[in-house]
Structure 1
């Protein structure tokens, strides 16, 4: 290429239409009256192309796994994030998978990836990803009745919402304002055991989850009545709830445990060692 005589100062000339990620050797001749000097050489490289398909493919509480397509075997990479840079060697083949570790749970990171050829960087491509939030602490049942269970857990932080999974369903629970979270699961079946899994959620990414099990109260028996007595005993009758339910009989300041019945049909229980001519009030609890 012929370059006109400059007016003054250093000469700046841009060579365009080159191939990305390529090393070129340039020879420059001074020319006077069509006569050339012996020439001087310099070598330079074009910046490599950016990679494509730069994305997050997974995460846990302390790491994010990134993937991108390889540019070519002569290109290495620099990954920049959170004010730091990490050098990544030239891959052998296929897509590049790289895990960034020692991160903070429940945090959003922006990563910039540069392709590097002969110490020259590409313009860089960006992707954002988040680490999974931490699991909550103290996830437990604090109460129940026949059709509901009340759960409690500690708040993670104000940016974290929750998903409660149980019995093949999921319920989304909004970010709490402050303090421990109390949530009542209703429309349950009496006398049933449920396993609940609670996920913390940050930017649509879930924690690994924590579990707790709890039961609803069994239904009360029906047809609870006295069917006979003598001077020192009273015989009670009740209908069986189911074979998994035992009972507690409370009267006169005492409690008696009554085992689960064996068969079907009404159950009879005789309370003995009573005082003649005395009125007693009996309360019967189903226990699951």
Structure 2
């Protein structure tokens, strides 16, 4: 088993007189053979999400070690942060989220379908547009981070396609500090959500200095 910060290893007992040494990252852990005939289970914790680890297990009998057996396993990657709908119209929804890591891809799940999405180069946010949708319809999207076939627990959002009318609204804001267009978009979306207004809009931000 594995999660974001731990990997659980399991192996068969040899006999009641044989113990084990688990070695990884230059650390050795001594593990005694438990009572009974069941398998031996050991959990390695305090690991980093989305990381590959190599473990070496030695059997030990009266201070004599076996040649050892190796296993490579990975921790589950973290869920993507900032997952939200950034643009909607009558037939499409554009989703946006932050990258998790260089080697972490994604799976987008909705309506019983799954779409594999590779992480592009660079550190910018991810964008993906889902098309051929129905106007005025709610959709649930679930996004999974994937590292070497290990899938995160997933994060879900509910979003709706736009209706067949357009509402235009001009806002003039005075900012005390500097904000990027992306940061301003995030702030306005949170403002709309605070007052239970679905952020189904397209923003055009124009900077004007006094």
TM-score interval (norm. to shorter): 0.7 to 0.9
Partner of 2:153: 208
- Structure 2 CA distance for aligned equivalents of residues 71 and 188 of structure 1: 58
Which structure has more relative contact order (CA 8 Å, sep 6+)? It is 2
Match of 1:121 among 41, 65, 71: 65
> Is 1:96 equivalent to 2:40 in the alignment?
yes
> Is 1:107 equivalent to 2:24 in the alignment?
no
Partner of 1:82: 25
After superposition, give the CA deviation of every residue in 1:121-164 in whole Å (9 maximum; x if it has no partner). Answer: 11100010000111111111001111110000011111110001
Deviation at 1:218, TM superposition (A): 2.7
Partner of 2:131: 186
- Structure 2 CA distance for aligned equivalents of residues 129 and 158 of structure 1: 18
Partner of 2:176: none
**Larger strand proportion, structure 1 or 2?**
1
- Structure 2 CA distance for aligned equivalents of residues 217 and 116 of structure 1: 66
After superposition, give the CA deviation of every residue in 1:242-267 in whole Å (9 maximum; x if it has no partner). Answer: xxxxxx899xxxxxxxxxxxxxxxxx
> Is 1:155 equivalent to 2:99 in the alignment?
yes
| Larger Rg belongs to | 1
TM-score with structure 2 length normalisation? 0.76
Preserved CA contact (<8 Å) 2:13 2:39: yes
Unmatched segments (≥5 aa) in structure 2: 169-199, 201-210
- Structure 2 CA distance for aligned equivalents of residues 130 and 158 of structure 1: 15
Deviation at 1:219, TM superposition (A): 4.0
- Structure 2 CA distance for aligned equivalents of residues 89 and 249 of structure 1: 69
TM-score with structure 1 length normalisation? 0.56
| Corresponding residue SS for 2:80 | coil
| Corresponding residue SS for 2:127 | strand
Moved over 4 A (4+): none
Match of 2:2 among 36, 49, 59: 59
**Larger helix proportion, structure 1 or 2?**
2
Deviation at 1:65, TM superposition (A): 1.0
| Corresponding residue SS for 1:59 | coil
> Is 1:140 equivalent to 2:75 in the alignment?
no
- Structure 1 CA distance for aligned equivalents of residues 54 and 16 of structure 2: 26
